[in-house]
A and B are shown apart, each in its own frame.
Chain A
Amino acid sequence: MRHLTSDVLIVGAGGAGMYAAIAAARNGASVVLLDKSLIGRGGATVMAQMTVAAAIGQQEPDHWTIHLEDTIRAGRGLCNEELSALLCEEGPARILEMEQWGTRWARENGHVKQEMAPGHSRRRCCYVDFLNTGPAVAATLRRKVGEISEVRRISNVAVVEILTRDGRAIGAVGLNLSDGELVTFAARAVILAAGGLTKLYARNSASANMGGEAYALALWAGAELVDMEFVQFFPIGHLAPRLVGMDPILWDPFRYKLGGKLLNGNFEEFVDRYGGTDFGQYTATRDLASYSILKEAEAGRGSPHGGAYLDFRHISEIQLRGAFGPVIDRLLLNGIDLTKTAVEVGPMAHYHMGGVRVDSNMETRIKGLYAAGEAAGGANGANRLSGNAITEAFVFGERAGSSAAEAAKQIQVDWEPELATAAIERIKALRRWQSKNGVTAVSLQAELQEMMWEKAGPFRTGDKLAAALARIQQMLRDDLPSVSITEETLYNVDLQDWFELRAMLTTAEAVVRSALARSESRGAHQREDFPEADESLLKNQVMEMKNGELVFQWISPVRLNRVEGSHG
């Protein structure tokens, strides 16, 4: 069996994982950087076409404490303010460092151009033209890690278990997808940077490859999760006509800039029917937009794909081209002519505010086990500001990498192959079953995605959540152990899907249980049976796995001693 040793092992090579690798290496560590897809190609970072928020103050005077106030306000009282402060204070250094490494932030008049975005009180959102922020920063980081000899990059390895001994992470077991062989990794510190859980939902806007593995791996290793009920749904994700080669959340800035009309299936404006003021202004808040789109569809007045129309036909072609730039041609290639056609939009899963519970060094309660990026929970509370996700990936990645490198200097792991024996036996046992009922992991994934969308999506009820929980538990108990898996070794997609399904079910259960327990509506978590916020629930839910069962407790949010407006 293949075995690799490093000071720091990083699971996931998106924005957070690659930044962590660079930071760990420059703090003296040897690094193994893994991705189940390709380095810098999978995950959410490369998909992000929008902006990165940081108080670099080049467009107008700004200060990180103002960014912090905006972030905390959006988080509806549930931010871990220590983590929010870290994100906002170190964001500027990371943005400027990325520029030194070659990211070409859009500039004007000799400074980085920064735009306004909803919820921000200053123009602080940097971007790379046109709609190219994610691919550009991913390319910068990919090139940078490629130049560092201390970073060993390995693609197509899916980590299936974190190894621990005496409450300390000591490595991992991975599945080499190309040949189906198991691989063991010994490390003095392990960083989970495998992103979020958008794949749990039938309608989502991120990569297909984030099924919540980081959260499941953390739970199984003994770490805690926090705020798992807070999945962010983006209100006007693209539904139809089929659009390829573009991020499905592309419409937001154009709607903001040009005023696209939101129309129901009968081509009537409707947001005002739900108490909104969108009529003629196109500025309805995200939650109101989501709510009114889904309610119109429920009432039989949706667009053909169950959403609403977004209509730019009242805008001149010259104005459209001015705002969309070359994007207008990419739309035409998809057969979408905005001067003639209204597109269909609707809410879709976009980001997860919750995640692995970490301290301000990104360490979990398991020594030597860290989390970074979307995998880490808490910085954004009940709702995330536009632009904070990539900043979080850079800042938390850097912090996790440097913390892990420092920790690695303090300890020694004496690797013995026996340390992985139990895990490997568990994994090998999975291969012994035969096809029993012909159910496949990929079809169960599809069922889970539809169910999570219907029952644990943007608007939830206790009844729907309870039904989802019952089915998830049944899938864990009955379906997962009897799935058909072929005996193939080379690139066995059934086997990959099985491991992914296992993680998806554990993470889905964490989301649904947390959503059931939070009997109020706050931020991204909306309960139709509890439409108001309940101030007695101004608390975070912390989850752990005890004897195979998920248990949770309520804790008070981490707050900073700060004085409103003290930045002057």
Chain B
Amino acid sequence: MAERATKKAVLHVRRGALNEASRYDDFEVPFEEGMSVLDALRWIRVNLDSTLAIRYSCINANACKTCMALVNGEVEYTCIAKLAPESITVEPLPKRPLIRDLVTDTVPDDEKL
């Protein structure tokens, strides 16, 4: 247990909403083998900063397809992107209109209000 608790991952996360200046926040997260990037983002929301905006639904089945973000510059489903005990950068999808933090407008046009 003690050994497990000493491993950490650091998430370097781009923050900010549409029409706001963006910034990067660093979050240190306890690392457990097999963790996903989404697990870490959810841990941050419960334990460090509840205001971090993320989008997900099914958590880990890769069924809902709503949790995409840029992980170290690559487009990934954060639910299946594996976390490592090192630093990673997480940013919103670059080709979608930003809403807030990691949430971009991925709603199909014909499903919008």
> In the bound complex, do residue A155 and residue B107 qualify as a contact, i.e. CB atoms below 8 Å apart?
yes
A482 touches B (CB below 8 Å): no
A-contact 0/1 string along B61-100, CB 8 Å cutoff: 1111110000000000001100000000000000000011
> In the bound complex, do residue A484 and residue B61 qualify as a contact, i.e. CB atoms below 8 Å apart?
no
Residues of A within 8 A of B60 (CB): 243-245, 248
Alpha-carbon separation in the docked complex, A490 to B104 (Å) = 11
Nearest-CB residue, chain A, relative to B101: A491
Residues of A within 8 A of B63 (CB): 41, 46-47, 134-135, 207, 247
Residues of B within 8 A of A488 (CB): 17, 51, 100
A242 touches B (CB below 8 Å): yes
> In the bound complex, do residue B57 and residue A209 qualify as a contact, i.e. CB atoms below 8 Å apart?
yes
> In the bound complex, do residue A208 and residue B33 qualify as a contact, i.e. CB atoms below 8 Å apart?
no
CB proximity of A479 to chain B, nearest CB, Å: 14
- Residue of B17, B50, B80, B111 near A494 (CB, 8 A) is B50
Residues of A within 8 A of B50 (CB): 440-443, 484, 493-494, 497
- Residue of A37, A146, A334, A490 near B57 (CB, 8 A) is A37
B-contact 0/1 string along A233-257, CB 8 Å cutoff: 0000000111111111000000000
A-contact 0/1 string along B15-51, CB 8 Å cutoff: 0011000000000000011111001000001110011
A117 touches B (CB below 8 Å): no
Residues of B within 8 A of A493 (CB): 45, 50-54
CB proximity of B106 to chain A, nearest CB, Å: 8
Known: A41-B65, A183-B113, A490-B17. A443 touches B47 (CB 8 A): yes
CB proximity of A498 to chain B, nearest CB, Å: 10
> In the bound complex, do residue A491 and residue B53 qualify as a contact, i.e. CB atoms below 8 Å apart?
yes
Count, chain B residues at interface, CB 8 A: 41
Alpha-carbon separation in the docked complex, A38 to B108 (Å) = 9
CB proximity of B53 to chain A, nearest CB, Å: 5
> In the bound complex, do residue A240 and residue B51 qualify as a contact, i.e. CB atoms below 8 Å apart?
no
Residues of B within 8 A of A2 (CB): 113
> In the bound complex, do residue B113 and residue A154 qualify as a contact, i.e. CB atoms below 8 Å apart?
yes
> In the bound complex, do residue A38 and residue B66 qualify as a contact, i.e. CB atoms below 8 Å apart?
yes
> In the bound complex, do residue B100 and residue A491 qualify as a contact, i.e. CB atoms below 8 Å apart?
yes
Residues of A within 8 A of B13 (CB): none
Alpha-carbon separation in the docked complex, A246 to B45 (Å) = 24
B9 touches A (CB below 8 Å): no
Nearest-CB residue, chain A, relative to B107: A155
CB proximity of B65 to chain A, nearest CB, Å: 6
> In the bound complex, do residue B111 and residue A155 qualify as a contact, i.e. CB atoms below 8 Å apart?
yes
A266 touches B (CB below 8 Å): no
> In the bound complex, do residue B107 and residue A246 qualify as a contact, i.e. CB atoms below 8 Å apart?
no
Known: A155-B107, A240-B34. A207 touches B57 (CB 8 A): yes
Residues of A within 8 A of B18 (CB): 490
Residues of B within 8 A of A242 (CB): 32-36, 39
User: Which residues of A (355-380) have their CB < 8 Å from a CB of B?
Assistant: none
> In the bound complex, do residue B113 and residue A176 qualify as a contact, i.e. CB atoms below 8 Å apart?
yes
User: Which residues of A (117-143) have their CB < 8 Å from a CB of B?
Assistant: 134-135
Known: A178-B105, A488-B17. A247 touches B61 (CB 8 A): yes
CB proximity of B12 to chain A, nearest CB, Å: 20
A22 touches B (CB below 8 Å): no
- Residue of B103, B111, B113 near A39 (CB, 8 A) is B111
> In the bound complex, do residue B46 and residue A442 qualify as a contact, i.e. CB atoms below 8 Å apart?
yes
Residues of A within 8 A of B45 (CB): 442, 493
A156 touches B (CB below 8 Å): yes
> In the bound complex, do residue B99 and residue A208 qualify as a contact, i.e. CB atoms below 8 Å apart?
no
Alpha-carbon separation in the docked complex, A477 to B35 (Å) = 36
Residues of B within 8 A of A248 (CB): 60-61
Alpha-carbon separation in the docked complex, A242 to B54 (Å) = 21
> In the bound complex, do residue A491 and residue B99 qualify as a contact, i.e. CB atoms below 8 Å apart?
yes
A153 touches B (CB below 8 Å): yes
Alpha-carbon separation in the docked complex, A491 to B46 (Å) = 17
> In the bound complex, do residue B79 and residue A443 qualify as a contact, i.e. CB atoms below 8 Å apart?
no
B-contact 0/1 string along A419-450, CB 8 Å cutoff: 00000000000000000000011110010000
Alpha-carbon separation in the docked complex, A494 to B103 (Å) = 14
- Residue of B33, B46, B59, B99 near A443 (CB, 8 A) is B46
Alpha-carbon separation in the docked complex, A155 to B32 (Å) = 34
Residues of A within 8 A of B32 (CB): 242
> In the bound complex, do residue B108 and residue A155 qualify as a contact, i.e. CB atoms below 8 Å apart?
yes
Residues of B within 8 A of A155 (CB): 107-108, 111-112
> In the bound complex, do residue B56 and residue A208 qualify as a contact, i.e. CB atoms below 8 Å apart?
yes
CB proximity of B94 to chain A, nearest CB, Å: 18
B-contact 0/1 string along A152-187, CB 8 Å cutoff: 011111000000000000000000101000010000
Residues of B within 8 A of A486 (CB): 51
CB proximity of A37 to chain B, nearest CB, Å: 4
Known: A46-B64, A243-B60, A443-B46. A38 touches B100 (CB 8 A): no
A335 touches B (CB below 8 Å): yes
Alpha-carbon separation in the docked complex, A246 to B65 (Å) = 13
- Residue of A178, A208, A494 near B58 (CB, 8 A) is A208
Give the 5 A-B CB pairs with smallest separation, nearest first.
Answer: A242-B34, A440-B50, A245-B62, A155-B111, A37-B57
Q: List 8 A-B contacts (CB under 8 A).
A: A39-B111, A47-B58, A134-B63, A154-B111, A241-B34, A245-B80, A334-B34, A491-B99
List the interface of chain B (C-beta within 8 A of A). Answer: 17-18, 32-36, 39, 45-47, 50-66, 79-80, 99-101, 103, 105, 107-108, 110-113
List the interface of chain A (C-beta within 8 A of B). Answer: 2, 37-39, 41-42, 46-47, 134-135, 146, 153-157, 176, 178, 183, 207-209, 240-248, 334-335, 440-443, 446, 484, 486, 488, 490-494, 497
Other A-B pairs beyond A38-B107, A155-B108, 5, CB < 8 Å? A42-B57, A155-B112, A208-B56, A246-B61, A442-B46
